[in-house]
Amino acid sequence: MNKVLQITDTHLFASDEGELRGTRTSETLEWVLEHVRHEHPDTRCILATGDLVQQETAEAYERFVHYFGRFDIPVLCLPGNHDDPALMRQVLSRPPFHLETRFALGAWDLIQLDSHIPGSPAGEVGQAQLEELDGLLQAQPERPTLVAVHHQPVPVGTPWLDGVGLRDGDALLACLERHPQVKTLIWGHVHQPSEQRHGHIQLLGTPSTCAQFLPGSEDFAIDPEAPPAYRVLWLGEDGRFENELVQLHDAVSHS
């Protein structure tokens, strides 16, 4: 099976000294990547599902290049609400980074969606992108497919977060449910784990590599006990899909 890692919401700054809500994001990312290098040397691909940076500057994206440019495998990148899609294209249009909508990995198609709305913490895929997605899925009905987006398309049970999710999540799910080859839809944004099902589709939200949000909170709150995390995805050539959430609890005790 092809092993793919989802790493999300790295929130990097131009300087490694930058902190998000008291967490030095470069430090927690180092912990995650060291764990990845040690535990998953057979990884075929990395999915970076948005909020790559906290500061929308070319220098912050160069820090992302510093950390992920070391990999000799494809690193797929899509924008989150804290990203600048134009700057992403400017800095990350070079190996090993991939910004295209569709990427083939063995028998699978990996499809990246852009849910960025300028100036808004919420997201939207939009009608044009939904039509493109529908066309891509119609063209390759025999290829098992993973779809990635930054914003959550369904409520995750944390009220303030559910107010800044994917505005057209229902439309996205309606599109995907017409295509039985779609095995899973993954996202970041929520800084907490989420696992649900929508018909034949596994829905997965993955925590950040830095600070996590407190599940269930009415208003913005950080969970001081929640560790940095990432998700391992196994994509079988026969269409089987498995996943595991990896949480680095030792990183909390050392912070």
What is the domain count for the chain? 1
C-alpha–C-alpha distance, residues 74 and 45, integer Å: 5
DSSP letters spanning 86-118: HHHHHHH-STTEE--SEEEETTEEEEE---B-T
Strand 45-49 to strand 75-78: parallel, antiparallel, or no bridges (unpaired)?
parallel
Peptide bond into 96 cis (omega under 30): yes
- What pLDDT does 251 receive? 64
Strand 182-187 to strand 145-148: parallel, antiparallel, or no bridges (unpaired)?
parallel
Q: For residue 174, what are the domain limits?
A: 2-254
- Residue 199 and residue 208 in contact, taking contact as beta carbons nearer than 8 Å: no
- What pLDDT does 16 receive? 84
- What pLDDT does 254 receive? 43
- What pLDDT does 253 receive? 42
pLDDT, tens only, 161-207: 999 999 999 999 999 999 999 999 999 999 999 999 999 999 999 99
Tokens 């499809």 identify what position?
111
C-alpha–C-alpha distance, residues 176 and 183, integer Å: 9
CATH number at 47 reads 3.60.21.10
Mean pLDDT per 10-residue segment, the chain (255 residues): 97 88 91 96 98 96 96 97 97 97 98 97 98 98 98 97 97 98 98 97 98 95 95 97 94 49
- pTM for the predicted model, two decimal places: 0.96
- What pLDDT does 255 receive? 42
**60 CB-near residues (< 8 Å, 6+ apart):** 12, 13, 14, 53, 54
- What pLDDT does 252 receive? 53
The distance between the two most distant Cα atoms of the chain, rounded to a whole number of Å, is 49
